[in-house]
Structure 1
């Protein structure tokens, strides 16, 4: 049994990590600079990133490989470095996890290509599978426990990445990013995803949502998953509040206390893997861990409870009622 499956079978919940980009920007990463280059140029910073999550209590952390596919790296003339950069990302993760003194999952982060699929765009299923397979081969060679497909907007891309994980014999988990009105950029709702993963040839170990707007919107998406009656483990990786522009920098307004509330609400909604996305720092993770360990399990939260504790939803619709825009602007993970 792979480590993630083992921990899911033994534990009521697992704490995932926080933001990759936000933490690396705080270490000096420049806007437009590929974070993946730091795997070889500044490995000490990537080790620090991983270790900070583990020290804060994370049972699972994502590798610094979100944009490590050929389509994204081609923008920086680095498409020939896919295997190298992903392998090193996982090797650094393996180093930290193996020294943790407890089981910690190294999850190989696999983000979108940035391309639009046919017929609206030019990306084909076959090419996407090829691109993701190359990336996952590097992650597996470096020692990743699981492929972590994330921040997807189109189910076609989600499915292509899943096929690649099967091709390299990596177990996988996957999240999509649901924007305002409860839909992904390509119109997928929480109910759509819950239904579609069950029809996959190799379904995920766990599925869910990451990024999007704030923690309250993400929790409403979680309620949408739960409403389908799915028994598959759920993932929630919400942003630490809402981004605000302050003195030349983007700052997320979610406090550690708010993220602690979010973590408890997610657990009470049946989520098994709980983490943060954009803006989530080690202090947020530590607060989440403390809240999960010290506060008793509660009943399924209502939409009203979520808004009272995390703030108002950004739209009246959660997408599952057929209302709201079907296509939103593409975004990257924190």
Structure 2
């Protein structure tokens, strides 16, 4: 089937669903079905609309369709020694480009490179009327006013059906090295904030069980100089790659130990926050700004603790017996929720796309 035929067929299906008030569950590879509130509605498979539309390595911009396999896109970028700098996790085989942006989840490099939304330049979207909407473009300096395209990052498909996305890519670093240090959590927080205030090529960091790992990325001379300045033990390159991939994909042993009555929480906190003295296993990333916490503590206590520290908490995964009635995402203040409802009404007036995926009343 031709691409135009696919889009026309999709528009017809969307209009029919809107007319019948029948919700649609937008789904690519399904590798992130567990993320967000409980899914519902008829599955709308986006993988048929696939392929790279345009790619100009000299301009560091790629445009691809929603159903493009993430592995395929990354392989094409790698041929030109380039990458998606926010290191989107796959969380399994079959992950799609559209799904990675819709989820808005970034990997270990996020603290130095930026979030998924920071790389979105343009988006083509289908609303619940079956209309095709275009936002942004394919150059960095193309935004005047509200940057609508970046709303797609982290929207979990609640605003509309993403058809195409243009994103900025970056060159792969010429050199990388990972160092590890034996260090208490409080010392790790202080050291990371001290080091990040200096011109060091730190691209990722992680602390757990008394060990701090730091990844250096950049020019060969810069990496060698930083290795000399920081000291520590150099990790074998193969072992280091396996470690950072394990964090990105959550295949690391830390993430496989969620008890049936516990949950994995992602806390976004000021990077200077001391390790929280709370029960359960903890892992710090992003120079201390992201904390993973496995605990059977109730949701209210977790969210109060995060708020008191100046941040918020997301219930990322949970054991089969954990009570999820508190919601996955931190409840929004009334003014922010009003904005969310306004955006939902503007893009999805029929309220058929991934209904309730972010919040039950959206």
With structure 2 as the length reference, what TM-score do the two structures score?
0.26
- Name whichever structure is richer in helix by fraction: 1
Structure of greater Rg? 2
With structure 1 as the length reference, what TM-score do the two structures score?
0.27
